[in-house]
Structure 1
Amino acid sequence: MQNRNFRSILYFITVVIFATLSIQFYWNYKNYKDGKQQLIREVQSSVDNAIDSYYIELADRNTIGISLKKDGSILENPQVNSLLRKIDRSGKGLDVLNSIDPNEISEMKVISGSALRNKDTVFGAVNSPGKHKDLHNFFNDTRPLDTTPNMNQLAKRIIISLNTDTLEIPVLNNHIDEQLAAKNIDIDYAYIFRKKEEVTQKFNTEIVDDEVLSTSSNSAYLPKNSSFNLYFTNVATIVLQRNILGIILSAVLIVAVVVCLFFLLKIISRQKQLAELKNDLISNITHEFKTPISTAKVALEGIQNFNKENDPAKTKNYLAVSNIQLDKLQLMVEKLLETATLDGNNLQLNREEVPLVPMLSELVEKHRNLTKNKILCFSAEQQKIHVPADPFHLENALNNILDNAVKYGGDKIEISILVESQMVKIRISDNGTNLTKAQAEHLFEKFYRVPKGNTHDVKGFGIGLYYTKNIIKKHGGSIDLHVNNQTDFTIILPRNG
């Protein structure tokens, strides 16, 4: 039942993690798509503004107003006719005015395009196609004046505006760069200008491929029957930079959710392990306590039911059996109480100079006598090795290690004492290979026993090595376990004397 619940929780956590990742991925992807569309709109706006400002600047440079200072027809004035011919022949458009001698236009007043905006009244605006038809002949074609509507108003003043079918690419690029920079957009771009569906001009078109984005200008300043298409790249980098805060927050949220869920899973797993340890401990205690209780009960029943003649020898034997079993019960209770004392940090050590060699020799000899099918070897570098320790607790701690090696280890156990500077190293190893590295990591935990199902072939509560580790630590030492081709316990204690 518990395993089923644990699996259900594991599946639920997996689903939550997957759902969190999916939602965050969808949210980031949607933000990316929205950011991409927003960038396209901003580029569209920048292109329209750039073309508007380009043609406004072009109109300022290519528009002039001419008025006579004296009465007379402007179309018959020699200086005006000479000026129109120079504009036609120069190939520079209205820029030629910058190099004309003021004496050549002394009878007229020339006003630039920007200044014309401030005039309240302008008479007779005339658009000229520039070099395709010279200005002088254009105005001559308008005679006689009285047959052309409003031509009489051109007697003293005219406005000349030259329109071109080509783009000044460097100038247009400056306008585009300024508009993009104002919106913090850094892209590589290309464009194609078409007049009546035919490509008239293009710029940087080598970057155009299937993956570039494009937009078309909707500027009202574009010439009639013309189009301007701009192509650009670097979109992903810009969109990601703009959404970097959202991406970071999303990543933090994902990490936080995953970490919390795994932490929850770890806690649940730990609780599951504790529940299993509790059940195993209860099972072990029940089994361990049941045996001496049953034996003592049988001995007492023997005195009561099978000793009607009151044989003193038989009574003594029955009582001896009962005492042995009660001593076992007392020892087990004391072990449990010692564990509680360790957890409460109330254990007081009565330190004295303890000779290690005699203590270990007696323990080894005791286990030799109790175990006939295992070989125990003991060696020491020196015979007089002392450590400041509580003899009772230190002996119990070392005995637990030996007992563990005898119960669970191989058939050959080696015990050695080495002296290193101010430290004493006690090594207890056996050639057993039943213990895995994963099990070794938990061997010093309270109530932990190597899983063997429901069998109780080896007695114990799983507190011996936990007790040993705590006693060694309270003595200022350490204990390590290494599992490879054999099992090695290494105890290090501070030396004195």
Structure 2
Amino acid sequence: MKHFKSYSTIIVSALSILLCYNIYCLVELYQAISRQTVELISQSLKDADLDEVLNRPKKYPVPDSVPDYQGKSMSQKRSIEGDTLMIYVLDGEGEVTEVRKMPLDPGTNYSDIMVDEIGYGAHQTVDPIYPFYIADLDSLFQLSLSRKEISPKYAFVNKISSDGTVVDGQSPADIKESLDSVSICYNIMSGERYVAYYSSPQGYVLRQMLGIVLSTGAIIILIATALWYLFRTVSRLRTIEEMKDDFVNNMTHELKTPIAIAYSANDALLNYDTDNDLEKKTRYLNIANKQLKRLGELVENILAVSMERRRAMKLRADNILLRPFVEEIADAQRMTAGKDVTINVDIDSSMCVNADRTHLANVFNNLIDNAVKYSGDIVVITVSGGSDGICVADKGIGIPSKSVPYIFNKFYRVPHGDRQDVRGYGIGLYYVKSILDKMGWSISVKSKEGEGSVFTIKIGKDE
């Protein structure tokens, strides 16, 4: 974990760059689809115009009187010269009256030009004879849009003269929303054109991008979740590593202390004449015995954690009559407490559990020992049992509310700045919970500072 911060910075920076590039690509895609949508709307207007002018003779009867255009009719002749479309306007006698030039782009689709030519010719033939109704063009334009799955809120067409005057159609000023527009010139000679107004097709564009946006969003969420989980896991591992180092350092010191004291007491017995001083001899022996007992407890704690880590550890289940079992543990705790301890056992004499005797004894020893440590000079502990489970309650100093969620974590110790006399390693309650979990039981705690704590063990359903 030495270079974790540097690696994390590099990874986060790389992912940030990729995210920015991804957003840039999405914006470019949005703009490209928007341009394509405008082209589709323009094509829809052309399709609607061609359908309208070709269907007009079928829909409306021929007028009784057809205007005589003899000598007045005009026609067009077109040719492509290089990159320019030449349009020659001819009068009724075939004389060129006007020449127009239309530059062609390199990507010009000549089939589109042919379709436009058909439309121009149809207008020249149909417009002088059959009446034009803007409503027909509106409906065909909307139908063409719907075929392309484009459904703007507003879509209508205006007929515009060469000087920009609205000849026919709804005024865009009547619509409160902002409208976009496309136009086509249906009569090159007169300059008349159709202008289609439509509300923003943003919904259509977003629908086209929906799959990409959702997949991109899902990938971003997955990456963010994976990074969060990675950083969280590494952070927890670093915390555990620091706590483990503290545990090893503290345990090393604690192991050396009883060894040194016991060695000194034993050295005094060997090097001084204590045979004639029975009181001094007894005192040295008691000192050595007490320190060796303390050393044994430390070793037991280490072995308990080591055994818990062996997932293949098997428990030997026995039928245990709970009241005498707990009373025996309570008697041992009273003898070793070194202060006035009252332990009340309120368990029905017939209550029996199926559990590993050794590990269950360690569970009660840990809970009662903690209650003794974190109480005052006068200790009152109550162990009760019933259908709701087994409770170990004390009237000690209690646990701060902010520490309650963590007390069963390995190596965690509740900070008590004013309790320097209490030593511990943060493995007792962790061991308790681990063993109870393996037995299929559970444990919870309720505590209030200054009033004490209540640990409740829920016995498995099969008990």
Tell whether the structures are fold-level matches, with TM greater than 0.5: yes
Aligned pair partner of 1:263 in 214, 217, 229: 229
- 1:37-91 CA-partner distances (Å, limit 9, x unpaired): 2211211222133324434555x679xxxxxxxxxxxxxxxxxxxxxxxxxxxxx
Contact 1:208-1:231 within 8 A present in 2 as well: no
- 1:249-270 CA-partner distances (Å, limit 9, x unpaired): 1111111110111011112112
Determine helix, strand or coil for the equivalent of 1:238: helix
Higher relative contact order (CA 8 A, sep 6+): 1
Determine helix, strand or coil for the equivalent of 1:94: coil
Aligned pair partner of 2:303 in 337, 343, 368: 337
Q: CA deviation at 1:403?
A: 1.4
Query: Do residues 94 (structure 1) and 62 (structure 2) align?
Result: yes
* 2:325 corresponds to: 359
* 1:183 corresponds to: 148
Distance in 1 (alpha carbons) for counterparts of 2:290 and 2:266 = 13
Query: Do residues 168 (structure 1) and 133 (structure 2) align?
Result: yes
Contact 1:378-1:416 within 8 A present in 2 as well: yes
Q: CA deviation at 1:166?
A: 7.2
Determine helix, strand or coil for the equivalent of 2:256: helix
- 1:261-300 CA-partner distances (Å, limit 9, x unpaired): 1011112112112211211211221222121012122223
* 2:26 corresponds to: 28
- 1:345-403 CA-partner distances (Å, limit 9, x unpaired): 45454544433223333444554565577774525253343323343332221110111
Question: Given the superposition, is the C-alpha separation of residues 475 and 251 from structure 1 closer, same or farther in structure 2, using an over 3 Å criterion?
Answer: closer
Report the AA paired with residue 427 of structure 2: I
Query: Do residues 200 (structure 1) and 167 (structure 2) align?
Result: yes
Report the AA paired with residue 482 of structure 1: K
* 1:44 corresponds to: 42
Question: Given the superposition, is the C-alpha separation of residues 249 and 390 from structure 1 closer, same or farther in structure 2, using an over 3 Å criterion?
Answer: closer
* 1:140 corresponds to: none
Q: CA deviation at 1:245?
A: 0.7
Distance in 1 (alpha carbons) for counterparts of 2:396 and 2:4 = 34
Question: Given the superposition, is the C-alpha separation of residues 11 and 164 from structure 1 closer, same or farther in structure 2, using an over 3 Å criterion?
Answer: farther
Distance in 2 (alpha carbons) for counterparts of 1:149 and 1:343 = 107
Contact 2:340-2:379 within 8 A present in 1 as well: yes
Determine helix, strand or coil for the equivalent of 2:27: helix
Matches within 5 A, 1:68-467: 94-96=62-64, 127=73, 163=128, 167-187=132-152, 188-195=154-161, 196-203=163-170, 205=172, 208-209=175-176, 211-217=178-184, 219-221=185-187, 224-305=190-271, 307=272, 311=276, 313=278, 314-315=280-281, 317-345=283-311, 347-368=313-334, 376=342, 378-380=344-346, 382-408=348-374, 413-420=380-387, 425-431=389-395, 435-451=399-415, 457-467=421-431
Distance in 1 (alpha carbons) for counterparts of 2:275 and 2:349 = 54
Q: CA deviation at 1:330?
A: 2.7
- Structure 1 or 2, whichever has the larger Rg, is 1
Contact 1:20-1:254 within 8 A present in 2 as well: no
Determine helix, strand or coil for the equivalent of 2:197: strand
Question: Given the superposition, is the C-alpha separation of residues 52 and 358 from structure 1 closer, same or farther in structure 2, using an over 3 Å criterion?
Answer: same
- How high is the TM-score relative to the length of structure 1? 0.69
Distance in 1 (alpha carbons) for counterparts of 2:4 and 2:374 = 31
Distance in 2 (alpha carbons) for counterparts of 1:12 and 1:321 = 59
Determine helix, strand or coil for the equivalent of 1:299: helix
Distance in 2 (alpha carbons) for counterparts of 1:294 and 1:207 = 99
Q: CA deviation at 1:476?
A: 4.0
Contact 2:53-2:126 within 8 A present in 1 as well: no
Q: CA deviation at 1:201?
A: 0.9
Q: CA deviation at 1:489?
A: 0.8
* 1:472 corresponds to: 436
Contact 2:134-2:158 within 8 A present in 1 as well: no
RMSD across aligned positions (CA)? 4.1
Question: Given the superposition, is the C-alpha separation of residues 324 and 365 from structure 1 closer, same or farther in structure 2, using an over 3 Å criterion?
Answer: closer
Question: Given the superposition, is the C-alpha separation of residues 452 and 15 from structure 1 closer, same or farther in structure 2, using an over 3 Å criterion?
Answer: farther
Report the AA paired with residue 431 of structure 2: Y
Contact 1:386-1:496 within 8 A present in 2 as well: no
Report the AA paired with residue 279 of structure 1: D
Contact 1:364-1:376 within 8 A present in 2 as well: no
Distance in 2 (alpha carbons) for counterparts of 1:244 and 1:296 = 77
Determine helix, strand or coil for the equivalent of 2:344: strand
Q: CA deviation at 1:27?
A: 3.3
Structure 1: stretches of 5+ with no match in the other structure: 63-91, 98-109, 111-122, 129-147, 151-158
Percentage of matched positions with identical amino acids: 25
- 1:297-341 CA-partner distances (Å, limit 9, x unpaired): 222332455x16765744554344334323322332233223222
Matches within 5 A, 1:51-66: 51-58=49-56
Contact 2:142-2:155 within 8 A present in 1 as well: no
Determine helix, strand or coil for the equivalent of 2:349: coil
- 1:414-448 CA-partner distances (Å, limit 9, x unpaired): 4242322xxx6211234556534453333223333
Contact 1:215-1:229 within 8 A present in 2 as well: yes
- How high is the TM-score relative to the length of structure 2? 0.73
* 2:119 corresponds to: none
Distance in 2 (alpha carbons) for counterparts of 1:251 and 1:212 = 31
Question: Given the superposition, is the C-alpha separation of residues 16 and 53 from structure 1 closer, same or farther in structure 2, using an over 3 Å criterion?
Answer: same
Determine helix, strand or coil for the equivalent of 1:389: strand
Distance in 2 (alpha carbons) for counterparts of 1:149 and 1:391 = 121
Question: Given the superposition, is the C-alpha separation of residues 402 and 23 from structure 1 closer, same or farther in structure 2, using an over 3 Å criterion?
Answer: farther
Contact 1:472-1:478 within 8 A present in 2 as well: yes
Distance in 2 (alpha carbons) for counterparts of 1:283 and 1:177 = 81
Contact 1:52-1:221 within 8 A present in 2 as well: no
Determine helix, strand or coil for the equivalent of 1:487: strand
Question: Given the superposition, is the C-alpha separation of residues 416 and 336 from structure 1 closer, same or farther in structure 2, using an over 3 Å criterion?
Answer: closer
Q: CA deviation at 1:232?
A: 0.7
Determine helix, strand or coil for the equivalent of 1:271: helix
Question: Given the superposition, is the C-alpha separation of residues 223 and 172 from structure 1 closer, same or farther in structure 2, using an over 3 Å criterion?
Answer: farther
Distance in 2 (alpha carbons) for counterparts of 1:397 and 1:291 = 26
Distance in 2 (alpha carbons) for counterparts of 1:55 and 1:418 = 95
Determine helix, strand or coil for the equivalent of 2:384: strand
Question: What is the number of equivalent residue pairs in this alignment?
Answer: 409
